[in-house]
Amino acid sequence: MANIIVVGGQWGDEGKGKVVDYLTSRFDVVVRYSGGPNAGHTVRRGDKKFALHHVPSGILTDGVFCVIGNGAVIDPASLVAELRTLEEQGVSARGRLAISQRAHVIVPAYVRKEKTLEESRGEGRIGTTLKGVGPAYEAKAARTGVRMVDLLDAGALHRALSAAVPADEVASTEAALTELAGILKEYIADTTRLLADRMEDGERVLFEGAQGTLLDVDHGTYPFVTSSSAVAGGACTGAGVSPTRIDGVLGVFKAYSTRVGAGPFPTEEKGDRGEKLRARGNEYGTTTGRPRRCGWFDTVLARYAVRVNGIDSAAMTLLDVLDGFDEIPVAIGYRYKGDRIRQFPTEPWVLDSVEPEYTNLKGWRADTTGCRSFEELPRQAQEYIRTIEDAIECDIDMISVGPEPERSAVREVSKLSAWLADGA
């Protein structure tokens, strides 16, 4: 048995959805353990593109059961729309999806609250997606939230809403949620018990994180972070499973770096090469459509992500985006006030002011999208990967060179291949 956590090692948008989609056939259950509709996983299957926000990527693979854990927050209207869109695309969640009773609900008042707060920040805006996710987690911590289990009982829903929203909005919100509850009630379950039973029966579980390590509310670039636990540890609290049931952590890294919204970004490339990265990588947010800020791979940041998550094995996505560059910088350190920094700084004012120290590697100027093994990659691409492996102190066991799942390769002798063999 192999129960694996898939976690983003940068600022989100690393391609976790594609990686999960590629791996799902070796697992029985896929669990989403954090975040809400602010997250977006884009998965391609042939000529179809699926944009998933609540539902785990595993829903696209027949025979795989999916769970939305208690660590997620849910916009019922958005979730119902997502399920209907999947149905229209030929994917049914009936009998294949469970939603935690303990997951918290996003109500319209939270969306308005987040928009008002973000606008009040002026130039200090965080860059939130304005989906009401932050206020939902705020209400959860304040113990005034609405949970999915409340949707199953009229009295419980009324009492929860009376504490959660203005008095003049209780009736309308209650009516809307009651209607949505009629659609969602078949999916609401005690998912902690469900997962425990399935793991006891020897089923293999893949835990799918949202966003990325540097957006984690505790370990990210605070305050420019999300409101939930995006690191691997969040899988245990966000799904209700013991750490002793986890066999490994797979970290997903983009072959370069991107970030959406405000916040420090030491290796951001603001010139023509940044525009070229954006164009070649089609770097626009799945949820918001906003252009992503683009830059070079940052090994200081990635090594920090390896440590915080306990990453055993790494996947590198979008390597093909770098096919068109003659030279590719990789940040191997920072300088701050003349001193060299090799560890990721906690102080925001330091991170805002560091100057990256680069090693410039020769590009390969060759099409990698047809490569299906590490050995098939151009020599310079292999050297690029080895340089990053050495710097982040973690093996890169999976390489992705295109949006489709089949454009991926797992190195034959690796920790990831052993996990997958264990799940065969």
Query: What is the structure's pLDDT at 403?
Result: 80
Tell me how many degrees the CA angle 145-148-153 measures, rounded to the nearest 5: 100
Q: Which of 328, 336, 309 is CA-nearest to residue 394?
A: 309
CB 223 within 8 A of CB 19: no
11, 298, 392 from 359: Cα distances, Å = 22, 11, 14
* Residues 330/361, Cβ–Cβ less than 8 Å: yes
Render pLDDT for 302-355 as a digit per residue (tens, 0 to 9): 999 999 999 999 999 999 999 989 999 999 999 999 999 989 999 989 999 999
Q: What is the pLDDT of residue 2?
A: 86
Number of domains in the chain: 2
Which of these, 208, 416, 400, 406, lies nearest to 317 by C-alpha position? 400
**Final residue of a structural domain among 186, 203, 226:** 186
| Residue 4: both structure tokens together | 């694996």
Q: Describe the crossing of helices 133-142 and 108-120 by its angle, rounded to 10 degrees.
A: 110
- What is the structure's pLDDT at 212? 95
Considering 21, 41, 219, 397, which one is annotated as catalytic?
41
Q: DSSP class of residue 344?
A: P
Last residue of one domain, picked from the residues 186, 217, 234:
186
Q: For residues 365 and 326, what is the distance between their CA atoms, to the nearest angstrom? A: 6
Q: Using only C-alpha atoms, what is the Rg of the chain?
A: 21
Alpha helices in 289-328 (DSSP H): 299-309
DSSP string, 176-194: HHHHHHHHHGGGEE-HHHH
The alpha carbon torsion through 105, 107, 112, 117 (nearest 10 deg) reads -30
pLDDT of residue 337: 94
Query: Is the same domain home to 306 and 415?
Result: yes
Residue 176 and residue 275 share a domain: no
Same domain, 233 and 258: yes
Among 220, 242, 241, smallest CA distance to 230 is for 220
Long-range contacts of 270-275 (CB under 8 A, 24+ apart): 273/325
How many CA atoms are closer than 13 Å to the CA of 105, on its beta-carbon side? Answer: 30
Mapped onto helix, strand or coil, the DSSP state of residue 402 is: coil
Q: Is the dihedral of CA 364, 366, 368, 374 positive or negative?
A: negative
pTM: 0.93
* Same domain, yes or no: 36 and 152: no
The structure tokens listed for 124 are 């200090």
Contact 208, 30 (CB under 8 A): yes
* Same-domain status, 78 and 154: no
* In a shared domain, residues 119 and 45: no
3-state SS, 19-45, equals HHHHHHHHCCEEEECCECCCCCEEEEE
Give dist(CA 390, CA 393) in Å, integer.
5
278, 313 contact by CB (below 8 A): no
Q: Tokens standing for 273?
A: 């090469």
Asked whether residue 379 falls in the same domain as residue 272, the answer is yes
Sign of the Cα torsion 198, 409, 21, 243 reads positive
Residue 129 maps to which CATH number? Answer: 1.10.300.10
pLDDT of the residue at 77: 96
- 41 belongs to the catalytic site: yes
Q: Are residues 195 and 254 in the same domain?
A: yes
Q: CA dihedral in degrees (14, 401, 265, 35; nearest 10)?
A: -10
- Asked if residue 314 and residue 181 are part of one domain, the reply reads no
Same domain flag for 13 and 88:
yes
Task: Identify the domain boundary among 120, 153, 186.
Answer: 186
Is 179 in the same domain as 248? no
Are 341 and 335 in contact by the 8 Å Cβ rule? The answer is: yes
pLDDT of residue 288: 67
- Domain CATH for 380: 3.90.170.10
Give the count of beta carbons closer than 10 Å to the beta carbon of residue 197. 10
CA-CA distance, 319 to 358, in Å (whole number)? 19
What residue has token string 């699926």? 50
Q: Within a 10 A sphere around the Cβ of 92, how many other Cβ atoms? A: 12
Considering the domain architecture, whether residues 403 and 335 belong to the same structural domain is answered as: yes
- Cβ-contact 39, 12 below 8 angstroms: yes
Task: Flag residues of the chain having pLDDT under 70.
Answer: 1, 39-40, 124, 127, 286-288, 423-424
Q: What domain range is 128 assigned to?
A: 104-186
* CA–CA distance, 233 with 257 (Å, rounded to integer): 23
Query: Are the C-beta atoms of 259 and 268 separated by less than 8 Å?
Result: yes
